[in-house]
Structure formats: structure tokens, C-alpha cells
């Protein structure tokens, strides 16, 4: 038998074996159940408890999109892991699904820091509260934010209160204590003078616990006011989250010397193209909205120059808009950034994890799936 015929026979045998295995899997219920059992066991034990190790400050991008719908990005969400606890800056639509799929230790979510109350920053607050409670959170969820946060929290609680009742009736109050379902709204007040730009200055300590200090600061997202960003300091490492804002001197001042700046970014020239196309086809509504939103965000170029001014080590662009669903769109979005800041810039994406070991200068990047 020739070498070729022998290879052909071996290939035929391999195909026959694979076909037999395929038939077996499709037609034998016991095989399907055994495979399913293994998948369940792996999923139930796959919780990412490693993220809670107290040797590092960690940042996980749980939503990097903006209100323009994007298949690849949930709305605004940044998770901070420090002192064995999880804090979320904003919780936009789709963010809870990300966190659940990534198996983050849900009961350890302690607090949400809302930057402002646009729907793309609060959409999943009800889901987050209900799901982390159902998963065993043994404390009420604290929700910090600008004045007005109690109205947002009360609204979500009212909308979800029937479901709260169903869960308690179904699983029992011992497993689902009502006291832990109730959220705690905490308004953070920052003194600002009337008529003075919020970017002229203004900050306040939000909390100090487990070695973590969180500072809120004012940014300019008019007509939304007040609007905040947040700075996290833990074991000699620091991360700043911009919130939604135009280019802002107060943000640069608060971010001075930080390790990481997570900054919102909207490409003004791409939004302008949408506006022009909308005008072209006579869609005045879309044209007007695109014209309005161009004026209350930061462009990638402005974010790069702010990162330079603040002297941060790494700038990560988030709250990306318009959607950058392919390489060409991402290149257009980042146009000119490298001229301003050749190094230390990342275009953020859902699942980007930054690990900042305590008392070092290292920033490790990886992806959670
Ligand atoms: Zn906004
Ligand atoms: Zn937004």
C-alpha cells in the first residue's frame, strides 16, 4: 500500500470515529446530561474571587459604550476592586450582564458611585441591586451621587418592589432578607459658587474604608448639573474616572500624578459626519441631536492633552461614541491622538482589566471573557 493510500485510510478512520462520537452525543440523552453537568460544575465554581485579592488596585471596564447603540459595548460602567470589595462607577444598560457573565463575586459589590443621572449611566441599577441581593449580598447597596440620587434610587426601588416581594415569597425571607434589598442613597455635596464653572474647582471625600479613599470632583456636562468624576486611591495606586464632561481643568487638577485616567471620549468629527448625513436626508431631528451632543463631551484629542497635563501614566478612553465596530472606525476614532500622546493610551473595551500592584509603578493589562 502506498504512503498516500495509508494516509487516506487513516483520515477515513478519523472521520468515522468523529462521526460516531457526534452520533453518540446527539442521540444519547445520558451523554448530553453528563456533558451539561460538567459545564454547570465549571460555571458554578468559576467565580473570579482572585479579583478581590488585596495586593492590588484593579479596574475592570464593564461598559465602554455611549447612548448610540453598540453591539460590542454596554453603556457606562467601570468596576474598581480594592480592599476585598467591589465599587462601580455608573451602571448603564448591559453592564450587569457583563459582570454576571464574567462571574464577578456579586455579593461583594458594596457601592455604586453615579457620575450623573443620564440614562446610559443608571439603566442597570435596578438589575444590579436585585441580582447581587439574590446572589447573597449581605448588606444594603450604597448608591452615591450628586444631589438627586435619592429620586433615582427611590424610582428603581418602586419599579422593582413587586419583584422583591415575589423573590421573598418564592425563596423565603431567610435567604432573601428584605433589609438587604433596600438601597441606601447618599448625596455627595460639593460646594460650587453660582455662575462659576464647575471646572474651576470643587471636590469632596466620598468615603475612606479598607485602605481606599474615594474623592468626587465636579466636571462640566451642562445642562446636566451637578456632574461628577471620581478618584480612587489605594495602597499608593490611583485611578480617576472622568464621568461625562467637556475638557475640564478641575479634572486635570484632581488627576495630577494618577496612575490611570479612564476618560470619556466622543469623536466630534464622526458625530459631525452623522449630523451632515442626517441633514442631507432631511432628518432634522437626528441632525439637531447630533449637533447638541457634540458640545458636552470630550474628544479623544482633548482627553490625550488632559492626560499629558495631568501627567498620568496610562489614559484609557471609554464611553466611546459613535460606535467603533471595525478597525477602520477605530482608526478614524483615534485619528491624531498619537501626535499628542505617542505612548500611554488605550482604546478601552468591555472586559479590559487593569491590575495595579500595591506600592509599585506597574500596570498589567488583561482581558476578562
Ligand atoms: Zn451624560
Ligand atoms: Zn453618558
Which CATH number is 105's domain given?
Answer: 3.60.15.10
Compute the average pLDDT of residues 308-333. 95
Ligand nearest to the CA of residue 266, numbered in listed order: 2
Ligand nearest to the CA of residue 67, numbered in listed order: 2
* Strands across the sheet containing 56-63: 184-187, 142-145, 109-113, 85-89, 77-82, 56-63, 352-357, 364-367
Q: Tell me what pLDDT residue 263 has.
A: 98
Q: Is the peptide bond before 295 cis (omega within 30 degrees of 0)?
A: no
Query: In terms of domains, do 221 and 299 share one?
Result: yes
Helix, strand, coil shares, percent, the chain, to 5? 40, 25, 35
What confidence category does residue 350 fall into, taking pLDDT thresholds of 50, 70 and 90? very high
On the question of pLDDT at 88 being above 70, the answer is yes
Q: How far is the CA of 321 from the centre of ligand 2 (A)?
A: 10
Q: From CA 39, how far away is CA 44, in angstroms rounded?
A: 9
First-residue to last-residue Cα distance in the chain? 49
Q: How far is the CA of 347 from the centre of ligand 2 (A)?
A: 17
Instruction: Tell me how crowded residue 227 is: count the other CB atoms within 10 A of its CB.
Output: 26
Query: In terms of domains, do 249 and 104 share one?
Result: yes
Q: What digits encode the pLDDT tens for the residues 107-155?
A: 999 999 999 999 999 999 999 999 999 999 999 999 999 999 999 999 9
Query: In terms of domains, do 301 and 172 share one?
Result: yes
Q: What digits encode the pLDDT tens for the residues 65-87?
A: 999 889 999 999 999 999 999 99
Q: Is the peptide bond before 349 cis (omega within 30 degrees of 0)?
A: no
Query: In terms of domains, do 272 and 333 share one?
Result: yes
Residue 61, all three cell numbers: 471596564
Query: In terms of domains, do 95 and 133 share one?
Result: yes
Q: How far is the CA of 195 from the centre of ligand 2 (A)?
A: 24
Q: E strands, the chain, where? A: 56-63, 77-82, 85-89, 109-113, 142-145, 184-187, 203-209, 212-221, 224-234, 237-241, 260-266, 314-321, 345-347, 352-357, 364-367
What lies within 8 Å, CB to CB, of 26 at 6+ separation is none
Catalytic residue list contains 120: yes
Q: Tell me what pLDDT residue 191 has.
A: 84
Query: In terms of domains, do 234 and 263 share one?
Result: yes
Q: How far is the CA of 135 from the centre of ligand 2 (A)?
A: 28
Domain membership of residue 29 as a residue range: 3-43
DSSP assignments along 64-101, one per residue: -B-SS--TT--SSEEEEEETTEEEEE---TTHHHHHHH
Residue 66, all three cell numbers: 455611549
Q: How far is the CA of 117 from the centre of ligand 1 (A)?
A: 7
Q: What digits encode the pLDDT tens for the residues 146-196?
A: 999 999 999 999 999 999 999 999 999 999 999 999 999 999 999 877 788
Q: From CA 221, how far away is CA 133, in angstroms rounded?
A: 32
Q: Tell me what pLDDT residue 4 has.
A: 84
Q: How far is the CA of 306 from the centre of ligand 2 (A)?
A: 19
Residue 106, all three cell numbers: 456579586
Q: How far is the CA of 341 from the centre of ligand 2 (A)?
A: 24
Which of 120, 220, 244, 259 is an active site residue? 120
Query: In terms of domains, do 111 and 196 share one?
Result: yes
* Nearest in space to 228 (alpha carbons), one of 256, 199, 253, 208: 199
Count of domains forming the chain: 2
Query: In terms of domains, do 19 and 57 share one?
Result: no
DSSP assignments along 287-312, one per residue: HHHHHHHTTSS--HHHHHHHHHHHT-
What confidence category does residue 1 fall into, taking pLDDT thresholds of 50, 70 and 90? low
Query: In terms of domains, do 252 and 177 share one?
Result: yes
Query: In terms of domains, do 78 and 16 share one?
Result: no
Ligand nearest to the CA of residue 219, numbered in listed order: 1
Looking at 62-66, 89-93, 144-148, 286-290, which range is the least confident one? Answer: 286-290
* Average pLDDT over the chain, rounded to an integer: 95
Q: How far is the CA of 244 from the centre of ligand 2 (A)?
A: 6
Q: What digits encode the pLDDT tens for the residues 219-238?
A: 999 999 999 999 999 999 99
What is the SS3 assignment for 140? Answer: coil
Amino acid at each position: 500500500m502506498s504512503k498516500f493510500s495509508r494516509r487516506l485510510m487513516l483520515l477515513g478512520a478519523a472521520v468515522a470515529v468523529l462521526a460516531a462520537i457526534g452520533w453518540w452525543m446527539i442521540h444519547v440523552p445520558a451523554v448530553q446530561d453528563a456533558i451539561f453537568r460538567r459545564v454547570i460544575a465549571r460555571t458554578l465554581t468559576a467565580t473570579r474571587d482572585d479579583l478581590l485579592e488585596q495586593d492590588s488596585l484593579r479596574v475592570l471596564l464593564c461598559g465602554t459604550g455611549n447612548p448610540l447603540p453598540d453591539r460590542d459595548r454596554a453603556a457606562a460602567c467601570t468596576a474598581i476592586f480594592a480592599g476585598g470589595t467591589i465599587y462601580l462607577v455608573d451602571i448603564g444598560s448591559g453592564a450587569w450582564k457583563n459582570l454576571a457573565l464574567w462571574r464577578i463575586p456579586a455579593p461583594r459589590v458594596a457601592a455604586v458611585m453615579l457620575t450623573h443621572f443620564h440614562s446610559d449611566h443608571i439603566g442597570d441599577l435596578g438589575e444590579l441591586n436585585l441580582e447581587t441581593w439574590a446572589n447573597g449580598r449581605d448588606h444594603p447597596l450604597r448608591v452615591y451621587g450628586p444631589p438627586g440620587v435619592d429620586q433615582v434610587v427611590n424610582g428603581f426601588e418602586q419599579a422593582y418592589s413587586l419583584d422583591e416581594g415575589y423573590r421573598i415569597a418564592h425563596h423565603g425571607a431567610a435567604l432573601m432578607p428584605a433589609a438587604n434589598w433596600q438601597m441606601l442613597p447618599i448625596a455627595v455635596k460639593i460646594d460650587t459658587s453660582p455662575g462659576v464653572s464647575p471646572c474651576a474647582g470643587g471636590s469632596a471625600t466620598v468615603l475612606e474604608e479598607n485602605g481606599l479613599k474615594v474623592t468626587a470632583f465636579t466636571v462640566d456636562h451642562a445642562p446636566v448639573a451637578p456632574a461628577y468624576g471620581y478618584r480612587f486611591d489605594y495602597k499608593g495606586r490611583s485611578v480617576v474616572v472622568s464621568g461625562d464632561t467637556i475638557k475640564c481643568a478641575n479634572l486635570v487638577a484632581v488627576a495630577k500624578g494618577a496612575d490611570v485616567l479612564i476618560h470619556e471620549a466622543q469623536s466630534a468629527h464622526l458625530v459631525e459626519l452623522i449630523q451632515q448625513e442626517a441633514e442631507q436626508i432631511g432628518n432634522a431631528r437626528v441632525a439637531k441631536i447630533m449637533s447638541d451632543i457634540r458640545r458636552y463631551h470630550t474628544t479623544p484629542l482633548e482627553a490625550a492633552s488632559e492626560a499629558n497635563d495631568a501627567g498620568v501614566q496610562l489614559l484609557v478612553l471609554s464611553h466611546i461614541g459613535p460606535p467603533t465596530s471595525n478597525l477602520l472606525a477605530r482608526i478614524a476614532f483615534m485619528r491624531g491622538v498619537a501626535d499628542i500622546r505617542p505612548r500611554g493610551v488605550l482604546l478601552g473595551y468591555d472586559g479590559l482589566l487593569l491590575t495595579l500592584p500595591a506600592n509599585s509603578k506597574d500596570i498589567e493589562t488583561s482581558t476578562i471573557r
